[in-house]
Amino acid sequence: MGVVIDQVTMQVVRYALEQIADEMGYTLVRTSRSTIIKEVMDITCAIFDAQGHTIAQAHHAPMLLTGFEITMVELIKRFPPGTLQEGDVVISNDPYLGGQHIMDIQTMAPVFFGGNLVGYVGAIAHQSDMGGAAPGGVAGGLTEIYQQGFTNLNIPEEYGGSGIDPLTALIITEEIARGCSAVATSSSCNSLATYPILIGGNEEQKQRFLRPIAEEGLYASFCLTEPGAGSDVASLSTIARKDGNKYIINGRKQFITSANVASFLTVFCQSGTAKGHSTISTLVFESNTPGVTIGRKERKMGLRASTTCEVIFEDVEVLVENLISGEGAGFKLAMETLNKARPTTGAMALGIAQAALEASVNYAKERIQFGKPIVQQQAVQMILADMAMKVETARLLVYKAGYLMAKGLPYTKESAMSKCYAADIAMEVSTDAVQIFKRVWLYKRLPGRKVYA
């Protein structure tokens, strides 16, 4: 039997709950940057019972709540009691889970009392207003990933970037790679090209290059690798010869991600007479500078949605003001850049491994042999358990690297470990997935095939 309370007490409780919902709304308004949230208050916040039914709502835009309750009930089905802990927040932008005339972002957080789940609190705002989409854009009109704010994760807000912390950036990269590692490669290639500017560039260079990259969705490529210089970076042979107030660049770069769509190139060259670490310099310039040719586009066995090209420099004239951090500083810049970028590659590998695991579990549940799903065979369960364990350990290492970076603590060791380990795990888990799928993985349309190549 429920608790019987008099009407006065009930009104007091009701107003108290509405005050809480209102306060949630005002907090969202105070902490947001979007005009439509800050000034129009086109959001709503509410408190729900343990079944997802509304018990109090904020006064901001109550009509938004009509679809929100549908979402809450669906989210509770997906995250039933026992799956969420205090402090967890579920964020959804799934248009099939409810929403209004344009796509929305809904948040849901469980509320506990005495260790028991007693209800949920949530907030809803249009997706384009949450800071994800391009200014003025609506989700349905998005054509490029940068409009969602998923590129340039390393660029601070003062230069038009997202300014988010490195750990969150890794989680975003992991999620993108879980869907498609080639898209993750494309969406994160700007980081490689912009880190040298962020690390060693002067203010004028940061404004000139970072701002258009972040604000106009332009691409930039990191041009280090050459036919004769892969791991051995110091042996690169592209030459930048100083001639008055400019450098004249000649050479050839290889395996350069997104070079065919890049507006800017960050290029590592030998600027001295002898080859070696101490004579490498870094120049950043427009890709349409006369003398730059984008050469062969590699036909890769995987990552085909990300382009990888040759870049050829023939008497390319670049002003000395495009030199980053002085002559001879290039090797250190390259190493510091790779140091920062390695966990991103680890996160991509992690996303691939996670996708392989999920595809394998789903397939093992569906595939019937010997009269039952193969997931019921202990030998298959053991493969899946090992896969899950490897994915989780890789995740811990990648997240640890991100955490250390976010805290400003030394991360060189964890950065290298996270890339190396997660990449190995991605290979192992994808190979295990092939064992689960067997003949079926050869079919291109199946996810088991996609994560392997």
Ligand X SMILES: Cc1cc2nc3c(=O)[nH]c(=O)nc-3n(C[C@H](O)[C@H](O)[C@H](O)COP(=O)(O)OP(=O)(O)OC[C@H]3O[C@@H](n4cnc5c(N)ncnc54)[C@H](O)[C@@H]3O)c2cc1C
Nearer to ligand X, 58 or 256 (CB): 256
**CB-nearest residue to ligand X:** 230
**Residues within the interface to ligand X (CB under 6 A):** 189, 192, 221-225, 230-231, 255-257, 303, 308
**C-beta of 222 vs 421, nearer to ligand X:** 222
Q: Residue 254: how many CA atoms within 13 Å on its side-chain side?
A: 11
CA–CA dist 302, 348 (Å, integer): 13
At residue 114, what is the residue type? G
Nearer to ligand X, 29 or 303 (CB): 303
Select 46 or 423, whichever has its Cβ closest to ligand X.
423
Task: Tell me whether residue 48 or residue 146 sits nearer to ligand X (CB atom).
Answer: 146
Distance CA 396, CA 26 (A): 36
Name beta bridge partners: 246: 243, 319
Question: Smallest gap, in angstroms, from Cβ of residue 337 to ligand X?
Answer: 10
CA distance 253 to 230: 10
Question: Any long-range contacts for 428-433 (C-beta under 8 Å, 24+ apart)?
Answer: 428/390, 429/352, 429/353, 429/356, 429/357, 429/387, 429/390, 429/391, 430/352, 430/353, 430/356, 432/356, 432/360, 432/383, 432/386, 432/387, 433/356, 433/357, 433/359, 433/360, 433/387
Nearest distance, CB of residue 362 and ligand X, angstroms: 28
Q: To the nearest whole angstrom, how small is the minimum distance from the Cβ of residue 300 to ligand X? A: 6
Q: How far is CA 19 from CA 16, 28, 226, in A?
A: 5, 14, 63
* Nearest approach, Cβ of residue 208 and ligand X (Å): 21
Distance of closest approach, residue 202 Cβ to ligand X, in angstroms: 23
Q: Considering the complex, what minimum distance in angstroms separates the CB of residue 250 from ligand X?
A: 17
Our CB check for ligand X shows the closer of 171 and 256 to be: 256
- Decide whether 179 or 230 has the Cβ nearer to ligand X: 230
How far apart CA 391 and CA 425 sit, in angstroms, is: 7
Beta bridge partners of 241: 248
What's the min distance (Å) between Cβ of 427 and ligand X? 13
Q: Which residue, 225 or 344, has its beta carbon nearer to ligand X?
A: 225
Using left for φ > 0, alpha for ψ between -120 and 50, and beta otherwise, residue 110 falls in beta
Smallest distance, ligand X to C-beta of residue 231, A: 3
- Whose tokens are 């019987």? That residue is 4
**Residue entry with tokens 């039952």:** 372
